[in-house]
A and B are shown apart, each in its own frame.
Chain A
């Protein structure tokens, strides 16, 4: 399979349209990262993410996908090259952290704080008054299906629900850009599929931009409007593949022909990049 056009599935593009006219919200230009111990984590990475896209960074461990995401988040510095994250809209007290929110590999909830307190944290840190933050916290909890769990400690939640709380915390800042670092990697497959579907719903409803790091080919194909395939040693981008799926992606999409075809293409790319390595 060499051509993507051949397997363009029925139904048009859904969600956002990553056409050239759309505004670029994240850009990496010639970004490199070398750690003090000599590890070459990223080599000459160029990537543009446009408004409304759902971009997955797919690759094996050590390909630098998390590092790239953290650079976009501003919590890691590039050794050379340039990272730009365009603040969309006005950044004010009510729109903290440049309209960006990040969800980590683990739920990273504060164990001493109840669910509502955890979700409220970014708003509290930005000095948003309670009268504004409370409805937003409730809205975020409703969006992830955690209504009624406001006063529960994180340890009383299952792994999937902790992750939902973590996503609610990110939603509470009403982000324009959502950075997700293998958020469902530690969950069982059923929970992961549920959360994938719910995340996709949220993305369609809210119209934010998502950059999603994963090492699951299936997850990347199911979620993304575009999959960026990366390889390790040194970390680099080896393919950039738009995914076209039906208007509503549901469980049927997971077993459809185009889905499996996309998985095969991505897996070929990964296999070629890893030749002679494992």
Chain B
């Protein structure tokens, strides 16, 4: 036991797993002891078997949600980076437009989603737009912050060597911005998923185009609580998977040099 506690990496994996298993066991036992009805709180075992039983239905819904999330995420990154570069190049542009980026950010997506869904015919496109709006801001703000966070000494060095604006951007500003950008990616990937779920709730698209959020909504109406939990579990796992992918990407890109990613 002590050997495991001393091994940081093993502990990081084993400790949370043990905690999770313990909580599930307590949950299971509490349900049997209190005899709580399944339509209020199902025990983990029932949720598990429901997940197996609905596997086909839930995974096809998962794919839909994933499609919306990833499309929105790619759009957010593309637009966000483009906007950040524009802002970083022109102070006037940034000063005049940044407040509106903030307005976009602080307006709750649930409040504008119905409008977007009315305006845009294609439900998929409408949902992607909603999710993009949610995921956009961290990319813009983090990338701008990064592009501006340049070591003044290095900037002087570039100036001394008569670097062109383009050279300074590519060789200095972009690498300086990378750690901030990857920080933005982590936040934004999670937000894209949240945006997709919210958009599905508002759009309420069923049938073959039903995403996980729609399954959650329907399960709620039908008081099929085990299925609701199963769908919820998949949404959560998707979020975790996105986060892990972003962390890995960041590690690959910055592992050699940035303080945040150095593990020794």
Residue ranges of A at the interface with B (Cβ–Cβ < 8 Å): 70, 73-75, 96-97, 100-102, 104-106, 108, 110-113, 121-122, 124-126, 153-155, 173
Nearest-neighbour CB distance to chain A for B263, whole angstroms, equals 13
Q: What is the number of contacts between chain A and chain B, taking CB atoms within 8 Å?
A: 60
Chain B 112-132, CB-CB to A under 8 Å as 1, else 0, gives: 000000000000000000000
Nearest-neighbour CB distance to chain B for A251, whole angstroms, equals 31
Contact A96 B161 (CB under 8 A): yes
**30 residue pairs from A and B, CB less than 8 Å apart:** A70-B156, A75-B159, A75-B160, A96-B161, A97-B160, A97-B161, A102-B156, A102-B157, A104-B153, A104-B156, A104-B157, A105-B153, A106-B153, A108-B151, A110-B175, A112-B175, A112-B256, A112-B258, A121-B161, A121-B171, A122-B161, A124-B171, A125-B161, A125-B162, A125-B163, A125-B171, A126-B161, A126-B162, A155-B259, A173-B161
- Minimal Cβ-Cβ distance residue in B for A96: B161
Enumerate chain A residues within 8 angstroms of B258, measured Cβ to Cβ: 111-112
Contact A111 B257 (CB under 8 A): yes
- Assembly CA distance A9 to B160 (angstroms): 39
Enumerate chain A residues within 8 angstroms of B236, measured Cβ to Cβ: none
Known: A102-B160, A110-B171, A153-B256. 13 other contacts (CB 8 A): A70-B156, A97-B160, A100-B160, A102-B156, A102-B157, A108-B156, A110-B172, A125-B163, A125-B167, A126-B162, A153-B257, A155-B257, A173-B161
Nearest-neighbour CB distance to chain B for A107, whole angstroms, equals 9
Nearest-neighbour CB distance to chain B for A66, whole angstroms, equals 11
- Assembly CA distance A100 to B262 (angstroms): 36
- Assembly CA distance A73 to B159 (angstroms): 10
Contact B156 A75 (CB under 8 A): yes
- Contact-residue bracket for chain B: 20 to 34
Interface status of B158 (Cβ within 8 A of chain A): yes
- Assembly CA distance A110 to B167 (angstroms): 14
Enumerate chain A residues within 8 angstroms of B151, measured Cβ to Cβ: 108
Nearest-neighbour CB distance to chain A for B146, whole angstroms, equals 12
Enumerate chain B residues within 8 angstroms of A173, measured Cβ to Cβ: 161
Nearest-neighbour CB distance to chain B for A184, whole angstroms, equals 15
Given A104-B153, A111-B258, A112-B257: A73 and B161 interface contact (C-beta under 8 Å): no
- Assembly CA distance A111 to B172 (angstroms): 11
Give residues 158-198 of B contacting A (CB, 8 Å).
158-163, 167, 171-172, 175, 178
Interface status of B5 (Cβ within 8 A of chain A): no
- Assembly CA distance A18 to B157 (angstroms): 29
Enumerate chain A residues within 8 angstroms of B157, measured Cβ to Cβ: 102, 104, 108, 121
Given A153-B256, A153-B257: A108 and B154 interface contact (C-beta under 8 Å): yes
Nearest-neighbour CB distance to chain B for A99, whole angstroms, equals 12
Enumerate chain A residues within 8 angstroms of B262, measured Cβ to Cβ: 155
Enumerate chain A residues within 8 angstroms of B158, measured Cβ to Cβ: 125
Nearest-neighbour CB distance to chain A for B178, whole angstroms, equals 7
Contact B162 A97 (CB under 8 A): yes
Enumerate chain B residues within 8 angstroms of A100, measured Cβ to Cβ: 160
- Assembly CA distance A101 to B162 (angstroms): 12
Nearest-neighbour CB distance to chain A for B242, whole angstroms, equals 25
Most chain A C-beta atoms within 10 Å of own C-beta, residue among B160, B161, B171, B172: B160
Nearest-neighbour CB distance to chain A for B140, whole angstroms, equals 23
- Assembly CA distance A75 to B167 (angstroms): 17
Contact A96 B257 (CB under 8 A): no
- Minimal Cβ-Cβ distance residue in A for B163: A125
- Assembly CA distance A75 to B258 (angstroms): 28
Given A108-B153, A112-B178, A125-B167: A96 and B159 interface contact (C-beta under 8 Å): no
Most chain B C-beta atoms within 10 Å of own C-beta, residue among A105, A155, A173: A155
Enumerate chain A residues within 8 angstroms of B167, measured Cβ to Cβ: 125
- Assembly CA distance A115 to B161 (angstroms): 18
Nearest-neighbour CB distance to chain A for B149, whole angstroms, equals 12
Top 7 A-B residue pairs of the complex, sorted by shortest distance between their CB atoms = A108-B153, A112-B175, A122-B161, A125-B161, A112-B257, A125-B163, A111-B257
Enumerate chain A residues within 8 angstroms of B257, measured Cβ to Cβ: 111-113, 153-155
- Assembly CA distance A155 to B157 (angstroms): 19
Enumerate chain A residues within 8 angstroms of B161, measured Cβ to Cβ: 96-97, 121-122, 125-126, 173
**Within the complex, which residue of B160, B171, B178, B259 is in contact with A74, where a contact is CB–CB below 8 Å?**
B160
Enumerate chain B residues within 8 angstroms of A155, measured Cβ to Cβ: 257, 259, 262
- Minimal Cβ-Cβ distance residue in A for B162: A97
Enumerate chain A residues within 8 angstroms of B254, measured Cβ to Cβ: 112
- Assembly CA distance A62 to B263 (angstroms): 41
- Assembly CA distance A105 to B156 (angstroms): 12
Enumerate chain B residues within 8 angstroms of A112, measured Cβ to Cβ: 175, 178, 254, 256-258
- Assembly CA distance A255 to B123 (angstroms): 84
